[in-house]
Amino acid sequence: MSDPGAPAADRADGPSVVLAIADGVATITLNRPAALNALTIPMKERLLAALAEVHADARVRAVVLTGAGRAFCAGQDLKERLAPDPPPLDDELRLRYNPIVRAIRDLPQPVVAAVNGVAAGAGASLAFACDLRIAADTASFVLAFGRIGLVPDSGATWTLPRLVGAARASEMALLGDPVSAADALQMGLVSRVVPADALAAEAAAIAGRIAGLAPGATTATKRLLGGAFDHDLDVALAAEAAAQAAAGAHPDHAEGLAAFVEKRAPRFRGG
């Protein structure tokens, strides 16, 4: 993907968002390492386009979102905001950040955030929107919004309390202190921490395992978990029953049963 709208420095380093698809796994890499992958308008548009491409590609069964270089993403490019006539903040959220978060949540495929370094501001929000977060031991999360007189956005006020509870979310949002990978693991913000040089392989392995599952059941599981904090037990029970009926009627369920009794790996087809 070329990036004609990107600043010259970005073009020199290649496209600001790189999408690679192999073996059922799409890897989306934020790629402005010199600026810690801070998000410019062209980069946000490229990210949205990559997410749309992945959504439409039935071969893709799992997604990894990561950053190039030493950061995951430093959030909004603050230098872009200092340029003459930046777009109004609420327009930027409505037109770009919010659609990106919505696109991640609406993807049929689970998204693994491979947090390779600092995730700050909207960069942290992106990680919070993913289905799984695994982190390098060098990673950190910083809700940097307050330091520049802004409020947490891109869904962070919704996702973060659901991930870590109100008390920890409030500390992170109000104080803005960096949370280390070890602390993120302890508070349940990430599910695994691995040595930095093992992160890409670990993310690929997790995504590869997800890609080997029955895609319809995987999507339904993502949807069921995504709604978990929004309705009561009876609604959850009914939603599980409906999803199970659909999963059970799919040929992939029969394939899973056959593979079990034949003591072999299942070959799920999806569709």
* Span near ligand T3D by CB under 6 A; candidates 1-9, 144-152, 163-171, 259-267: 144-152
Between CA 64 and CA 162 the distance in angstroms is 21
- What the block records as the tokens of 203 is 């993310």
Contact 9, 79 (CB under 8 A): no
Q: Quote the DSSP letter at residue 61.
A: -
81-100: which residues touch ligand T3D (CB under 6 A)?
Answer: 81, 89, 92, 97
Candidates 68, 126, 139, 142; binder of ligand T3D (CB under 6 A) is 142
> Does position 181 bind ligand T3D by CB under 6 A?
no
CA dist 67 and 29 (Å) reads 5
- Site for ligand T3D, residues 64 to 83, rule: CB under 6 A: 74-79, 81
Among 131, 153, 202, 252, binds ligand T3D (CB under 6 A): 153
What is the per-residue binding string for ligand T3D in 103-122, x denoting contact by CB under 6 A? ---------------x-xxx
Give the number of residues in contact with ligand T3D, rule: CB under 6 A.
23
User: Judged by CB under 6 A, does residue 36 bind ligand T3D?
Assistant: yes
Q: How far apart are CA 61 and CA 245, in angstroms?
A: 21
Residue 103 and residue 45 in contact, taking contact as beta carbons nearer than 8 Å: no
Binding of ligand T3D at residue 148 (CB under 6 A)? yes
- Residue 121 or 215 with smaller CB distance to ligand T3D: 121
SS (H, E, C) 101-146: HHHHHHCCCCEEEEECCEEECHHHHHHHHCCEEEEECCCEEECHHH
Check residue 10 for interaction with ligand T3D (CB under 6 A).
no
| 3-state DSSP helix/strand/coil % of the chain, to nearest 5 | 50, 15, 30
Task: Report, in Å, the least distance between residue 148 CB and ligand T3D.
Answer: 5
172 interacts with ligand T3D by CB under 6 A: no
Binding site for ligand T3D (CB under 6 A): 35-36, 38, 74-79, 81, 89, 92, 97, 118, 120-122, 142, 144-145, 148, 150, 153
